Structure 1
């Protein structure tokens, strides 16, 4: 009876060791790409822009997403191995049932940390400091908020 228990114990240990063996598949390298999408149909910053940004951030393959309501632009950094520009455009078009927003690839790829503000924002929020442009302290527009951070 003791021999039988020992054999069962050894068999269980073998199954546990084999079952717990770590899968050592090589991870695919992330292929980072960026895209700027022009989004029409946004009517407010909280309900539209923040919702789109939140949903994009949760999409598989999206590394970072920033939606600027004042410019109607979404700057997206993504893994090209997982998703594509075409998928991202279709994803934004499908938010809210597909009736509210329309996305297209923007010609101005505004994905750098230095944000180019729209003309309206420049007039209201920016001032020159020597050879540099700075945001006015009391500006609440998104483009200046991006520059302050």
Structure 2
């Protein structure tokens, strides 16, 4: 009887250790910038699109910059694709308001420190000519 309990215990342990393994795929991060037409305001349009993108499965991070009409999206390529993201954004609001397409241009997003040093206003995302902040250097290149 004791020998039988040991055999059952070993069998159960083997089933638990091998049966509960779940295959975990490595996150394959990719980025895409989408040009979005049809946005008319920052709060109602840009923030809504950003919020919906952030909740979409596979999206790691999404920033929509109204002044540039650009969405910068970081996503897991194992869960979604550029094509799906374009269709998703174009389908927001019933597919009648917004049109998204892939863009080579990236939205210029500066830190608060940069905005202060460059005397930038939230609605105008341009750097001073002599700004030495990293985000401005990258934007001028």
TM-score (norm 2): 0.68
2:53 match: 56
The 1-side partners of 2:69 and 2:98 are apart by 11
State the 4+ residue runs in structure 1 displaced beyond 6 angstroms. Answer: none
Which of 85, 89, 92 does residue 92 from structure 1 map onto?
89
TM-fit CA distance, 1:24: 1.8
The 1:116/1:51 distance shift into structure 2, 3 A limit, reads closer
| Larger Rg over CA atoms | 1
Structure 1: give runs of 5+ residues left out of the alignment: 1-13, 118-125, 128-133
The 2-side partners of 1:31 and 1:142 are apart by 34
1:131 match: none
The 1:142/1:59 distance shift into structure 2, 3 A limit, reads farther
SS of residue in 1 equivalent to 2:67: coil
Which of 40, 45, 58 does residue 42 from structure 2 map onto?
45
C-alpha contact 1:89 1:104 (8 A) present in aligned 2: yes
TM-score (norm 1): 0.64
